[in-house]
């Protein structure tokens, strides 16, 4: 059993991570590649990054020892439905010397499994976008939001950025003095916190600065909201509370009242000790007081654990989880 | 004085209207052209539509009798700042045989003047977009919203359409049976009200149907909200109430509490006997109980009245208003 190796990959929009682990939890290798999302980068390039990350994780590892592997990526369903994309990923897998089967799961399931071994629960993710999903028997079941920035992603980084600009514009319309968050958003967008003699000129400059870029880039303003909230700006704190309410509402569309299985928080805005995570924990605690709240952690390790679960020698997947997946809070 | 003629033009995105009036209120001619917004159609084409409308209004009128003219159009400021655009409009004016001066005003001011002769007041417009403006001495003063669909236009046709789809998606996420509005929006977007065995497939189809087109086209769903509200759907009624609250909030950014000067309602969603107009009137009545509420009417006639005001023989512009501009409710 100690000879058996499992491989996990966490394929994200900006980086790809791979890990090779023994079933005893020994970390044999880590690998990294660039962004590998086949939807945004194209299947060939994504498969190339996958291969780079895999080779990093497998340097010094006999690939015939690898008995199972899992890839977690956003849009997994689209990849599996696209024969050319699937072929490119299969080729990268073989080019890395791997002969074992490889399963593909959505990034939401992998984020969930990075925070808990419980077969049933909820995962709530807020990064640039936002999505909630029920997990049943370690498969994604019902999903809420993830509708994209035009129609949804309520409480996401995009949403926070857009609302921060909307509050700035409302203040300029009303002739109010800009608070700390508005000042920082104004400076970020137009290079100065000075309001023109005709405030409508500043309004127009802000609108133009936003509409010059793809709207989804409003998400890059989210860290300003987080920072302003940490500095005590009530406008920023109010936005985070509102975002937390929206995220909890999305989860509430699919998670039954009174559920006691775990909720895993994932995505850049909810992992780590962020004020949005604090607000979301408070909101979830009100709605589901008896549910354990967990944070997503090492996605590549979680993918490796998901792969290991199906091996005949793994009789207790739950007991294996803490060996393979570093614990989170 | 009865020989004096004034000309007014209302240049919109889908049509251009022109009118020639005597100061006694005699309507000498009407003209129509296609959409003439120089920002969306290009200055040359816009000027061509202007000329078509002008010629219609002036057929049978000696152009030397025309002593003043006004053009109302969206983005008037942009036209005046663009020498080539301004030259194209001046050329059309001369090609119509006109030698008198021509002033250009924003469409919001013209909408305002089509509902009242009061020099001071507020205009609140909701069509595809939404904007509120203070009018001072019959010039546009402070403005609220009009920020475009990415950041604003709260309570507009775009906003109503987007919120209608968001409610539909939330219902699909939550596995709830679709109400009348959701059924109609679903049918409009994907051609059928049937929800797939995996409701997420229907969610994806809705999101794709929306994101295939420019987002602003969500405004075309607004009439479904209005119709569903008229048929008694509480979801639609709730959306209209929310839109009315947003529109009143925008007006409140620039209109002082307790103001008693008139508010003119304009734009396709607020002119005529629409349920949104009813909701907005109720909301404005709560905020400004002593203010007269008016509806925008004939923009071309209002433009002609704005032109006439500056003539030396017009000593009482207010008394002239009912002669030139057909009354509205």
Chain B within 8 Å of A145 (Cβ-Cβ)?
yes
Render pLDDT for A192-230 as a digit per residue (tens, 0 to 9). Answer: 999 999 999 999 999 999 999 999 999 999 999 999 999
* A31 and A162 part of one domain: no
Å between B53 CA and nearest CA of chain A: 31
Q: Both B284 and B309 in a single domain? A: no
**pLDDT (tens digit per residue) in A106-146:** 999 999 999 999 999 999 999 999 999 999 999 999 999 99
Confidence tier at B273 by pLDDT (50, 70, 90): confident
Is some CB atom of chain B closer than 8 A to the CB atom of A215? yes
CA distances from B21 to B3, B300, B324 (A): 10, 10, 7
Chain A CB within 8 Å of residue B139 CB: no
Q: Is the pLDDT of residue B259 over 70?
A: yes
Assess whether B95 and B181 both reside in one domain: no
- Residue A323, chain B, CB below 8 Å: the answer is no
The residue with tokens 């060996």 is A323
**Yes or no, beta carbons of A143 and B200 under 8 Å apart:** yes
- Residues B101 and B151 placed together within one structural domain of the fold: no
Interface probe for A, chosen from B147, B154, B247 (most Cβ of A below 10 Å), is B147
Q: Given its phi and psi angles, is residue A205 left (phi above 0), alpha (psi -120 to 50 degrees) or beta?
A: alpha
With respect to residue A329, please indicate whether it lies within any of the assigned structural domains: no
**From the CA of A138, how many Å to the nearest CA of chain B?**
18
**Closest chain B residue to A164 measured between Cα atoms?**
B151
The arithmetic mean of pLDDT across residues B195-205, rounded, is 93
Top residue of A152, A185, A197 to mutate, by most chain B CBs within 10 Å, is A152
Domain that holds residue B164: 120-296
**pLDDT score at A142:** 94
**How many A/B residue pairs have CB atoms within 8 Å?**
74
Question: Of B153, B104, B37, B299, which is closest to residue A166 (Cα–Cα)?
Answer: B153
Q: How far is B92 from chain A (nearest CA, A)?
A: 30
Rounded-to-integer distance, Cα B123 and Cα B277, Å: 13
Residue B14 lies in a domain: yes
- What confidence tier does A12 reach under pLDDT thresholds 50, 70, 90? confident
B215 touches chain A (CB under 8 A): yes
Min CA distance, A146 vs chain B (Å)? 10
Report yes or no: A99 at the B interface, CB cutoff 8 Å: no
CATH number at residue A15: 3.30.420.40
> Looking at chain B from residue 237 to 266, which residues have their Cβ under 8 Å from any Cβ of chain A?
250, 253-254
Minimum-distance CB partner of B211 among A145, A148, A253: A148
Domain identity same for A70 and A215: no
Residue A53 and residue A194 share a domain: no
Please report, rounded to a whole number, the percentage of residues in chain B having pLDDT higher than 90. 87
The answer to whether the Cα torsion of A180, A182, A187, A193 is positive or negative is: negative
From chain B, pick out residues whose CB is under 8 angstroms from the CB of A39. none
Question: In whole angstroms, what is the distance from residue B183 CA to residue B194 CA?
Answer: 9
Confidence band, pLDDT 50/70/90 cuts, at residue B13: confident
Nearest to A147 among B142, B169, B199 (CB): B169
Could you tell me the pLDDT band of residue B1, with boundaries at 50, 70 and 90? very low
Whole-number pLDDT of residue A53? 96
- Please, which pLDDT band fits residue A2 given cuts at 50, 70 and 90? low
Q: Say yes or no to pLDDT of B39 above 80.
A: no
Is residue A239 included in any domain, yes or no?
A: yes
Substitution target from A131, A147, A199 for chain B, most B beta carbons within 10 A:
A147
pLDDT of B156-188, one tens digit each? 999 999 999 999 999 999 999 999 999 999 999
Q: Is B166 on the interface with A (CB under 8 A)?
A: yes
Among A252, A143, A11, A200, CA closest to B144: A200
Contact B151 A165 (CB under 8 A): yes
Q: A173 vs B254: CB contact, 8 Å cut-off?
A: yes
- Please indicate, yes or no, whether residues A129 and A78 belong to a single structural domain of this protein: no
Q: How would residue B2 be classed by pLDDT, with cut points 50, 70 and 90? A: low
- What's the DSSP call for residue B289? T
Q: Are residues B41 and B77 in the same domain?
A: yes
How far, in Å, are A44, A270, B192 from residue A130 at the CA level? 27, 11, 28
The shortest CB-CB distance from A150 to any of B142, B144, B211 is to B211
* Whether B173 and A210 lie within 8 Å, measured CB to CB: no
A49 within some domain: yes
Q: Are residues A107 and A16 in the same domain?
A: yes
Please name the member of A170, A200, A254 whose beta carbon is closest to the beta carbon of B143. A200
pLDDT > 90 fraction of chain A, expressed in percent and rounded: 88
B107 and B214 fall within a common domain: no
Please state, for a pLDDT cut of 70, what percent of chain A lies above it. Answer: 99
To the nearest 10 degrees (0 to 180), the angle between helices B157-174 and B234-254 is: 140
User: Does residue B200 sit at the A interface (CB-CB below 8 Å)?
Assistant: yes
ipTM for the complex? Answer: 0.90
Residue B178 domain-assigned? yes
Spell out the residues 6+ positions from residue A57 whose beta carbon is closer than 8 angstroms to its own. Answer: A7, A18, A19, A20, A28, A29, A30, A31
Q: What's the rounded Cα separation, in Å, for the pair B194 and B191? A: 9
Q: Does residue B197 sit at the A interface (CB-CB below 8 Å)? A: no
Task: Please indicate if any CB of chain A lies within 8 Å of the CB of B207.
Answer: yes
Number of residues written out for chain A: 329
Count of beta carbons in the 10 Å neighbourhood of residue B256: 11
Radius of gyration of chain A (CA): 22
**How many domains does chain A fold into?**
2
Q: Is B169 on the interface with A (CB under 8 A)?
A: yes
Whether B215 and A174 lie within 8 Å, measured CB to CB: no
Whether residues A199 and A304 fall in one domain: no
Q: Using one digit for the tens of pLDDT, what is the confidence trace for A239-287? A: 999 999 999 999 999 999 999 999 999 999 999 788 999 999 999 999 9
Considering the domain boundaries, does residue B10 fall inside one?
Answer: yes
Over residues B86-134, the pLDDT tens digits come to 899 999 999 999 999 999 999 999 999 999 999 999 999 999 999 999 9
Assess whether pLDDT exceeds 80 at residue B68.
Answer: yes
Under a CB-based contact definition with an 8 Å cutoff, are residues A184 and A160 in contact?
Answer: no
* H helix intervals, chain B: 38-41, 43-58, 76-80, 83-95, 107-113, 157-174, 180-190, 199-211, 222-230, 234-254, 275-287, 299-308, 317-324
Q: Are residues B165 and B43 in the same domain?
A: no
Distance CA A215, CA A212 (A): 8
Q: Give the pLDDT score at B328.
A: 85
Contacts of B147 in chain A (CB under 8 A): 166, 169, 203, 207
Mean pLDDT in chain A?
94
Q: Is residue B52 part of a domain?
A: yes
Q: Is A197 on the interface with B (CB under 8 A)?
A: no
pLDDT at A181: 98
């Amino acid at each position: 059993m100690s000879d058996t190796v499992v491989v996990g990959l966490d394929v994200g929009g900006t980086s790809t991570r791979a890990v090779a682990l023994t079933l005893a939890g020994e970390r044999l290798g880590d690998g990294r590649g660039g962004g590998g999302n086949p939807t945004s980068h194209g299947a060939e390039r994504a498969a190339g990054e996958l291969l780079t990350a895999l080779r990093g994780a497998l340097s010094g590892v006999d690939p015939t020892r690898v008995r199972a592997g899992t890839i977690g990526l956003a849009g997994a369903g689209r990849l599996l439905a696209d024969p050319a994309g699937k072929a490119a990923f299969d080729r990268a897998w073989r080019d890395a010397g791997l002969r074992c089967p490889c399963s593909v799961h959505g990034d939401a399931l992998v984020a969930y499994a990075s925070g808990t071994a419980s077969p049933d629960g909820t995962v709530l993710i807020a990064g640039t976008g936002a999505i909630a999903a029920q997990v049943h028997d370690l498969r994604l079941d019902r999903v809420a939001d993830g509708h994209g920035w035009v129609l949804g992603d309520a409480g996401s980084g995009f949403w926070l950025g857009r609302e921060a600009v909307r509050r700035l514009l409302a203040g300029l319309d009303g002739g109010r003095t800009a608070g700390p968050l508005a000042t920082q958003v104004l400076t970020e967008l137009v290079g100065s916190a000075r309001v023109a003699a005709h405030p409508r000129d500043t309004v127009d400059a802000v609108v133009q600065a936003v509409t010059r870029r793809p709207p989804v880039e409003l998400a890059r303003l989210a860290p300003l909201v987080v920072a302003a909230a940490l500095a005590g700006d009530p406008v920023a704190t109010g936005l985070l509370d509102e975002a937390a309410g929206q995220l909890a509402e999305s989860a509430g569309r699919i998670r039954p009242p009174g559920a006691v299985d775990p909720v895993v928080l994932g995505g850049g805005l909810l992992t780590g000790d962020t004020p949005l995570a604090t607000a979301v924990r408070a909101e979830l605690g009100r709605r589901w007081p008896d549910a354990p709240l967990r944070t997503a952690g090492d996605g590549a390790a979680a993918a490796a654990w998901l792969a290991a679960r199906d091996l005949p020698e793994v009789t207790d997947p739950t007991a294996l989880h803490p060996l393979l997946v570093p614990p989170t809070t």
